[in-house]
Amino acid sequence: MHLKDYYTILELPPSASPEEIKKAYRRLALIYHPDRNGNDPYAVAQFTEIKEAYETLMHPAKKNLYLQQRWYAQSLGQRRKQEIVTPVTVLKQLLELDRYTSRLDVHRMDKEGLYQYLISLFNDSTILMLNSFHDESVNKEIIQTALKTGHYLAFNNANDLAERLKKIAGENTDLSTNIEEFIQRASRNEYWEKRRVWIIVVIVIFLCLGIYFATKDSG
């Protein structure tokens, strides 16, 4: 996952305050503004990046989503550098991910980023490694933690994750049951999510009718 580093673009540390972000934007905008550089293509490109970074970091919802994406990307990059060599290492990463996602607003969560992280974590080589260790207790906890974290995913993504976890579960009946329940729950969530708007509309109509008839009777 390639992600722009908006803090680097604004020449700021990730701990920068809103006021510091404003000052950095004003300073860099003066330097790279197209009007001050004769519409030089390089200046235009730089100014566009600076403006995008500023608008993202100063908008609460956009910033929250960006920080999630940044965390996923950085965590994934760190994992690749260190390499996963044991089931315990995989479990530690999943527990860290679970702690992180549990603090997020589910309605503003980057669910696609979460999916990409999990799928990259459970690639073919990792699955092969987990099975080669034959550590059933750790594998069981890995699967259960992945299912817990993955309940945020859309049905298609949840189903993809489940197929990978099945390869780790093997013939363990309890884990297979948990995975099937996970898929069924994701399917139900998608079913009701698609109909949520219509359900709300129907409820509003009934409430309006109730208020109308109550007002009419009292009149």
Averaged pLDDT for residues 149-155: 92
- Superfamily of domain 1-58 in CATH is DnaJ domain (1.10.287.110)
pLDDT tens digits, 120-148: 889 887 898 889 888 899 999 999 999 99
When comparing pLDDT for 206 and 62, which is higher? 62
pLDDT, residue 79, reads 58
Lowest mean pLDDT of 3-17, 94-108, 171-185, name the range.
94-108
Is the full-model pTM beyond 0.75? no
Domain range annotation of the chain: 1-58, 62-219
**Sign of the dihedral through C-alpha 125, 175, 139, 188:** positive
Tens digit of each residue's pLDDT (9 = 90 or more) over 42-100: 788 889 999 999 999 999 999 999 999 888 887 776 655 555 458 888 888 899 889 98
Secondary structure string (H, E, C) spanning 63-125: HHHHHHHHHHHHHHHHHHHHCCCCHHHHHHHHHHHHHHHHCCCHHHCCHHHHHHHHHHHCCHH
With contact defined as beta carbons under 8 Å apart, do 6 and 56 qualify? yes
Angle, in degrees to the nearest 10, between helices 41-57 and 60-82: 100
Give the Cα-Cα-Cα angle 203, 209, 215 (nearest 5 degrees): 135
Give the three-class secondary structure for 213.
helix
Q: For position 80, what pLDDT does the model report?
A: 53
Q: What is the Cα–Cα distance from 142 to 51, expressed in whole angstroms?
A: 42
DSSP summary character for residue 59: S
In angstroms, the CA 151 to CA 155 distance is 9
Per DSSP, the three-state class of 1 is coil
Q: What percent of the chain has pLDDT over 70?
A: 91
